[in-house]
Structure 1
Amino acid sequence: MLVNGPTLLVLAALVLCYLVTGLARRLNVRCLSESIPPEFEGVFDPGQYRRSQEYLRAGARLEQLRESFDTLLACGFVLAGGIGWADALARGLAGSLGLGELGTGLIFLGGLGLAQAVLSLPFDIYSTFRLEARFGFNRTTPGLFIADRLKGLALGAVLGGALCSGVIWAYMRMGSVAWLVAWGVVAGFSALMLWLGPAWLLPLFNRFTPLEPGELREAIEAYAAGHSIGLDGIFVMDGSRRSAKANAFVTGLGRRKRISLYDTLLDRLSNEQVVAVLAHEVGHSVRRHILKGFAVAMLKTGLLLAVLQAMLASAPLQQAFGAAQPSVHVGLTVFALAYQPLALLLAASANALSRRFEFEADAFAADTPERAGALSGALKALSVANLANLTPHPLTVWLHYSHPPVLERVRRLEGASRPR
C-alpha cells in the first residue's frame, strides 16, 4: 500500500471534493419547499410539483451513490499502487507491439478511460432505464443505448487519442516551451470541435430534418431577417428518440447560423414561445458568448498546462505513486487527481460567467414586452415538462448551475413584460 505525502495529498483532494459536493446535494434537497412559488401557480399543479421534488430526491440519491463509488474506487486505486501497476502493464503491452513512449501513454490513458466507462455503465443503465423511465422521460431503447455507447467510445478513441498524442508529444519533445505548444494543440483542437461538431459529429447520434414550411418557419425567418441574421438552415432534431425533455440550440461562429429545434420542443410550445426561445439562443451568438467562453476556457487551460509542466519536472513525485520511471502520461494522471479542488473552483467560476451570459441572452430576447412574456411562458412550460427544481440551494447553484435558477429568470422576464 502506498502511503506517503503525495498520495495522502491526492486522497485529501478527492475526499474534500466528495464532501463539498455531497454537502451541496444534501442542502439542495433540504431546500425543497412544499409551497409552489406564486409565479408558477396555475402552471405547476400540486401533483406535478411533488413529482418534480421526488425526481430531484431520486436523482440526488443516485448521484450520491455514484460519487461514493467513484471516490472509494479512486482512493483504493491510488493506495494500492494502481497507477504504477497500470503504467507497467501499458509498458509491457507497448513493448510487445513495438511502440515507443507515445504509444505507451496512449495505451495507459486509453485503458484508464475504458475502465472508467465500463465501471460507470451500471449507473448509466440504472439512470436511463429506471430513474428516467420512472418519471416518464426515457425513450431510449437498449439497442440505441448500446449504439450510443459504442459510437462514444469510437469517437473518444479517435478524437481523444489525437488530442492526447499532441499533448504528450509536446511535453516529450518541446522542453521549456512544451506547455505553450500543448496549449496551442488544445486550443486548435477545441476550435476545430466548435466548427465540426454541429455539422459532422451531432448527426452521428441524431437525425436533423429541415423544418417544414409553415407559420413557425415563416416566424423564425422573419425574426432572423429583422435582426440581420443569415440562416444556414432550420432543422428539427429527433430528441424524442432518447428523452421526453426539450431544448433548442443555435450554432455557427460567423454571421450565418444553423438553428436546431428538438421535436419535443415543438410539441410543447406555441410558435411565439418557440421564436422567443430561439431569440434567447440567438442572443448568445450576437453577444459572442461562445467566443468569450472559449477564450476564458483557453486561459484556464493555459494556466493548468503551465502547472502541469512544473509537476512533470518532479520525478520523485511520480515515483511516489509507484511509477518505475517518470512519464507524461503518469504525470497527467496524478495531476488530474490532485487538482480536483481547483477544478471545482474553476468550474464554479465558469458557471458564474455562464449564468451571467444566460441573463444577457434573456435580456436580448426580451426586446419587446410580448417576447419577454413569451419567453417567460416557455420557461415555465419547459420547467413543468422537465420537472425542474424551482428552489435550488445557493451552494448548488454556485457549484453546478450553468444557467440561473428558472425562478430568477422568470421574475426578471415578467418584470420586462410589464407595460412601462
Structure 2
Amino acid sequence: MTPQTQFMILAPIMPAREAELRQLLASMNHAPGRVNPDNTLIPFAQFDTLHVARLLILDDQTTADVGVHGLPVPAYPLYFALLGDIDGNENAFLQELARRAAVGLSMLFSCCEGFTSTADLVAWMKRHRSPAIANYVNCRGRTLWQVREEAALRDALENYLTRHASALEKMPPREIHAQLAAFIKEETAISRLMLSAEEPTPLGWWIKDTLHLIGLPVLLLLALPLLIVAAPFYLLRLRQLEKTDPALYPSVDQAWSDALALGEDHDVTNQFSAMGSLKPGLLRLLTTLGVLLTVNYAARHLVRPGRLGRIRSIHFARWVFIGGAKPWALVKTARRAAFFSNYDGSVESYMDDFINKAGFGLNASFSNAIGYPRTNWLVLDGCADECKYKEYLRRHTLPTQVWYKAYPGLTAIDLERNTRIRCGLESASMSNEEISAWLALL
C-alpha cells in the first residue's frame, strides 16, 4: 500500500507585494475557480502523485471577533499558503516540486518575508512547513494512478456493454462476467488498459502507524487516574464557560458570500477553506487539542474507509493551527486555526451533511472557536441552530485563489465504486447474487 501524505507551506506576505502575489495567483487560472492545470508557475498536471492542491491568501476577516472577550484586536500578517495531498513521501514530493516549478515557486515565494533569490527552495519550504493537528484521507492507499486506471477500466467496461448489449442481454450473469474479464485481459495485454499492482507498504510508515495505533491508548491508560480525578472539575468549568461566554452572531456580508461563490461549483467537487480565532483560556485550548487529536486517531485507525462519520463526500480534510506549528507552542503564540477540505456537492449540501450526520463531532471540533453557536456539554446544541451555524461558517470561509484536483468529474463515491468494479472483475469466487450486484455497478 502506498500511503497518502499531506503538505502545507505557510509564510507571511510582505505587504508591499500582496497585489503582485494576487496577480500571480490569478494568472494560474483560466477564470475564477477554474485552474489551468498546465499553468507556467506550477504545472500541476505534470505531477503523478498529486491528488489535490490549493494556493491561497489567509486573509482572516474575523480577527476583530476577539473583542467580544475583551481582548485587543491583534495585527496579524497575511499568510500565503500552498498545500496539497499526495501519494508517498512529502520530502520526495517537495524535491520534485522544486525541480519542476523552480521559477514559478521563486516568483510566488518572493512575495513572502524572508525569501531571497539565492534561497534553496526545498530547504525554505521545509522551514515553513505547517503540519496538521488532524488529517483525514478518504481511502488510504488509493493512489492517483489507481484512481485513473480504475476510471479507465469502468469506461472500457461500460463501452463494451453498450456495443454488445444485444448479445449480452441473453447471457446469464456469470457468463457476462467471464466475457468482460476476458475482454479486459486482452486490453491489458496490448497495453490499452493498465491495472497496476499495489506497491508494498513502506516499512517506516508501517512502524510509525503501528506505534501511533498503540501509543495513544497506552498514554490515555497511563493518564486515566488523573483524568478521572480531573473530569468533574473540567466538565463543570466547561459548562460554566458555555453558559457565560459572550455570544457573537453577526450575519455574513452578502458581498463576501458572493465573492466566495465565484470560486465554487465549477466541478462535482469543491474546495473549502475556513479560518478563525479560538476562545481564550487554557481549558478551551486543551479541549481543542484533545478533540482534534481524537479526530486524527479515529480518522487514521477507526473509521471505515470512505466515511468520516456517516459523511461520504469528503476526499481529504485537515485541521491546522496558525501561528504555532507545534501544539505546545500555542500556549505562547497566536491561537487561530484553519480547516481545509475537498468535498463533493455544493457548500449548502456540505453544511447540511455535517449538521445531519456528524453534528456532535462538528460541535466538539469547532465549538471552541469564537462565534460558534452555543453548545451544551460540548457536543449538544451548537450546529442544531442551523441558521446561526451557516452564518458562522460562511463568515469564516476564505476564498481559495487556486485549486486543483487531478480527477475532475469523479466523486468520492465514484472512486469507491470503481474500486469495487475492479475487485469484482478480478474475483474468481463470487456467487451468482454477488455477480448480479457487481454488474449493477456498471
State the TM-score bracket (shorter-chain normalisation). Answer: under 0.3
Question: How high is the TM-score relative to the length of structure 2?
Answer: 0.27
Query: By percentage of residues, which structure has more strand?
Result: 2
Query: By percentage of residues, which structure has more helix?
Result: 1
Question: How high is the TM-score relative to the length of structure 1?
Answer: 0.27
